[in-house]
Amino acid sequence: MEADGSHEAFSAPCGTGAVRRYTHLDRVLLPLAAHAVAARLRELEACAAQVEDLTEARAIAAEVSAVQTEAADEAGVDRRAGG
């Protein structure tokens, strides 16, 4: 690593261009995905605040749970009780 924090001093066998592109893409896509999940949860929260039908409320709760479970799985978080 160079004094300025760059990695130009070492030579990766696969080329650093591909690694840089992947890293940049990762830095762009992760916040976008998180934003989309947060937006969906806000939509569900708004729906839940207005729903009067128990079946619809259960469907909303199930979707919230599925979104949270998927996000926790992607983050490597164990959501089991006591886990």
Structural domain of 51: 16-75
Tens digits of per-residue pLDDT, 9-38?
444 455 566 666 666 666 666 776 788 888
Evaluate whether residue 32 is within a structural domain: yes
Q: Is the pTM of this model over 0.85?
A: no
Tell whether 20 is covered by a domain.
yes
- Torsion angle in degrees (nearest 10) through CA of 22, 27, 29, 32: -170
pLDDT at residue number 24: 65
**Per the structure, how many domains does the chain have?**
1
